[in-house]
Chains A and B, each alone.
Chain A
Amino acid sequence: MLSIKKLFVKVKDKNILNDFNLDIKEGEIHAIMGPNGTGKSTLSKVILGNKNYEVVSGDIIFKKESILGLKTDEIARKGIFVAFQNPISIEGVQNSEFLKTAINERRENAIGLFEFVKEIKEKVKELDFSEEMIHRAVNVGASGGERKKNEVLQLSLLEPEFIILDELDSGLDIDSLKKVCEAINKYLESHKKTSVLIITHYPRILEYIKPQFVHMMVCGKIVKTGDYNLAFEIEKSGYSDTSVMGSEKENE
């Protein structure tokens, strides 16, 4: 579904991704773990076509087509969704208005008000959100946990085929993390072909959304790939431990 090939990316003359390779097939769940500043969050922004990052070489293929050079909104409408680490607040723009516009961008016929309200109310309930948030400005005055829940609410309404969870666990307490992960798992149960890339520092989130593949990323590239157990190995030994670093076996 998503294939990143020999990707080199820089920002202001600083190399961020160096020969980055990753291949994620339909329905697979992958996790990338790595220390601060290794380029994990950059990766999600580059996939979304953020203009602040310069792709020097390489390619990003989504559903057999290169998405390099496409605008962010075009990439999003192809079915890629990033749940951001620090979701932005938008003064004056109501959640309902924002979501309705986003949903309508994906449909031939605009969603009816009744259908929209019904759908959003169901999802809000699942996430233990107050219904009143629908009428609030996007993330304005929201706690870290509420912002993450809002990301998952958007995800479940926009029905992407490829999801990137960028440090979803940061700012969430145990109960909220569990709730949010339950909502994502429920989504994945009904969308079997959807693939997920989880970007995280800690394996806690992986206990709730279990990946088949775990990659360790250091200095802008994947240095080791393993199964679920690699996450706990990394947590035990750290990123600098040479035994964990092992040989540079990349996901191919």
Chain B
Amino acid sequence: MPILETIGLEKRFGGILAAANVNLSVKKGARHALIGPNGAGKTTVINLLTGVLRPTAGRIMLEGRDITDAAPHERVRLGMARTFQINQLFLDLTPLESIGLVVSERLGTGADWWRVVGSKPAVTDEIVEVVERFRLTDVMHERTAILPYGKQRLLEIALAFACRPRVLLLDEPAAGVPEAERHELLATIEALPAEVTVLLIEHDMDLVFSFADRISVLVNGALFVDGAPEDVARDPRVKAVYLGEELDA
């Protein structure tokens, strides 16, 4: 059974069909990449998966459970978290506070209004683990707004990871990260625990082919090709519509 599955997913914006009969199937533990040219509907699909948008037709299944009607925050509790293509951070909080917030929510103390943040050792232990994993230790007391972009990008993933998702959706994690900070980012993505299923949406073909064990190609809102990286790379139709222009460039 796939851990994440969409069945006939469709989204219309007025007359425009942004996602058409998308049947995506992500296996447990996979490193699955969703690629496609600009405007192919990748972001629409991720917004449908996470509940930011409601589909006009079709179902979304997470671990066999129908989550089509679940609110965004409920999907997080059911085990699926995402990052955003454009950073969505809490600029006035420090990384430590931001991660502390997520961990508190996940451990069910988020609505606790009487105790001080981090007064429970279980919370601080987990904060430390996330801070270290995402190499944010030396900036954890800085205001998020003034962090270097690469660190902000790491925090973007750290916040999603701190939700302890079984499925992690990464929306162009490397977008806009300067070359000097890129290595650190890619290394942390590589080092994500194997049991976490990752669905990667990415433009960067180097990252896709070094990371993914399965690739789905989205064109004009529809799934075009779906298979192992070698097969996708060899597929003449994919080359024609997409990879050719990207790889040659």
| A, B: real partners | no
Q: B residues bordering A, Cβ < 8 Å?
A: none
